[in-house]
Structure 1
């Protein structure tokens, strides 16, 4: 199906009625058309999913961001035949997305109420919940995802509370140095607020060790995995993050650290403020929009400009890929869906992937799109993803 045809579909009133099931006659028309044109079913289903995605409010921000980047490059024509919707903002966004990704791909996700998009693959694997373990200073372990809202524990003069939306907040000012550790499982994500007001978001398979109350001249925490920080400003007490031999020093800022053990480099990305990254005696000062890359055992810190929104897409419930290789894509999928990836002895794939999808999608729908756009195919066997060359 050509790009012009795709554009017309997304602005065709009959097709939109079919996707959203708002007109019985249009539904019947398109179902009959698919029976007569079975070779176009995959294209139609893909565009149908996109229409529903755009109709779902959780996808609005994603589409708007992509539209703003593309609207200066893409001229939307209002001259279309057949029954058409006016080219209102949302359908304009859809059209620009399709044209933009004509050389790549666009992932899609279904909302729960749109069961008609369901894949023919049974036993769909969906991501986990906010599974997190809190380990107190005395060694007591608390499963926070099953704990009731309200006071979870007390340590010295500090109260640990769980909010109605599942976040953890520390209240009080302990005079004793007590350390807690929060650990997210594979497939989990969690938010907590430290005693100084610093907000922390942990991605899957990540951890943070921190004091119940910050005593002394500095605020120091240790992390593994991927963690996003919004550090409370306090010039008199610098905030330091330690991970894999690297130290990040800040006063008050927003930044992201990706330090998974299975990633080849540690990535520190600055969104607001400034941070100083130290590794093996080398130091760099980052500005907003910059990323520091550190390779284990090499005392060279490389700095590059990046799109911060791409880096923190995980925090906002998205997978976003920008010329990302297959191995990197699969590491993210494996952590989020708590799966093992098995590769062939000789992996021939050299594709770089681009696109976006909600992290609430089932894994089969994502793998199907990767198959369409790359030179690999996938088989899901229990909690294993088997990669094969096409």
Structure 2
């Protein structure tokens, strides 16, 4: 494809005038260029483009060998906010065919920034409404919208006692603790923490999933407690996934150094490593991973690396506040990226693009359509 044609397609994608066929043609060319080793393709830098691009989800079943999405496309998605993925298609599927919308009796919007804050005196404040945020400010707290559009709760006073912030299914929230540490809470999660850190440690309790950027303080280590383990840090960036319905608790380190304790087991993580604690056996193991995958949710994406469909739908169910009929889920795996700001029907439509699995959504439940 001539460079002028490629640039024209990119410009149409950027301004939202490209057809599905033109978008698919552009991505197919990107796939060929990636396989040829080229790294000079135009990549997106326009806000909202991700809503107009096609995310390709490649399904893997049984022992069938497939190609993984090249890391170049992951970098593009993370650095520019665009789902710029090469389309990996099953034999005989046309690259010009756009992903269909899932057949559903109802649709669900993507989650939003919302949470409930419980103060030390038991008062509950719904964060995300102007009236309740005004109440929070009166209580020595600050609620504001950051330059990046995130709603942030910050403890500004020197209060006492413990606060707890809880996100519902279909919600997420970012907060700044009294020491300056930043926490992003995923859907269906909660964090309990002191209004002011005193004593020899900074200790918080987590249920669900959160990403932490801890303010350095060598004299006061930061400790994250979950139901089955604790993570101790001085100043670092890491993610803890501790949902009760997951098979494992996963702690992923992006920057710095952390110590993970579980029973009599203890291990030190370096950047790019992930500790996994089995709920069933209590075994603690460590592996090198792509840390960006663990924090994709914070950056506005779902990323799947040979992820079983059951785990894929678990993530979708928390974000879209739906349930999943697990009895009907086949053992298939997916690779790919889906933006978290699309409605449920669009997300399921991207999964359906592989052709083998179809979905219904009825009475707030996802099931397989036979």
TM-score of the pair, normalised by structure 2: 0.76
In the other structure, the counterpart of 1:69 is 72
The alpha carbon displacement at 1:299 in A equals 3.9
Instruction: Confirm or deny that 1:364 pairs with 2:345.
Output: yes
Q: How has the CA–CA distance of structure 1 residues 15 and 145 changed in structure 2, closer, same or farther, with 3 Å as cutoff?
A: closer
Report Cα offsets for 1:101-142 as digits up to 9, x if no partner: 34699xxxxxxxxxxx98897853211321200011111111
Q: Which runs of 5+ in 2 are unaligned?
A: 29-42, 55-68, 75-79, 94-99
Instruction: Confirm or deny that 1:332 pairs with 2:325.
Output: no
How far apart, CA to CA, are the structure 1 residues paired with 2:198 and 2:155? 14
Q: How many residues align?
A: 322
Q: Which runs of 5+ in 1 are unaligned?
A: 31-42, 72-89, 106-116
Report Cα offsets for 1:231-278 as digits up to 9, x if no partner: 111111111000022010001100000000110000000001000000
Kept in 1: contact 2:167–2:185 (CA 8 A): yes
Instruction: Confirm or deny that 1:47 pairs with 2:24.
Output: yes
Instruction: Determine which of 149, 153, 169 is the counterpart of 2:154.
Output: 169
Instruction: Confirm or deny that 1:350 pairs with 2:342.
Output: no
The alpha carbon displacement at 1:58 in A equals 4.1
The alpha carbon displacement at 1:54 in A equals 5.1
Kept in 2: contact 1:209–1:223 (CA 8 A): yes
Instruction: Determine which of 34, 47, 69 is the counterpart of 1:57.
Output: 47
How far apart, CA to CA, are the structure 2 residues paired with 1:344 and 1:319? 23
Q: How has the CA–CA distance of structure 1 residues 324 and 8 changed in structure 2, closer, same or farther, with 3 Å as cutoff?
A: farther
* Structure (1 or 2) with the larger CA radius of gyration: 1
In the other structure, the counterpart of 2:136 is 152
The alpha carbon displacement at 1:46 in A equals 6.6
RMSD across aligned positions (CA): 3.8
Kept in 1: contact 2:201–2:223 (CA 8 A): yes
In the other structure, the counterpart of 1:37 is none
How far apart, CA to CA, are the structure 1 residues paired with 2:15 and 2:49? 16
SS at match of 2:169: coil
In the other structure, the counterpart of 2:6 is 11
Q: Looking at both structures, which has the greater relative contact order when contacts are Cα pairs under 8 Å and sequence separation is at least 6? A: 2
How far apart, CA to CA, are the structure 2 residues paired with 1:135 and 1:162? 14
Instruction: Determine which of 191, 212, 219 is the counterpart of 1:208.
Output: 191
Kept in 2: contact 1:313–1:320 (CA 8 A): yes
SS at match of 1:329: helix
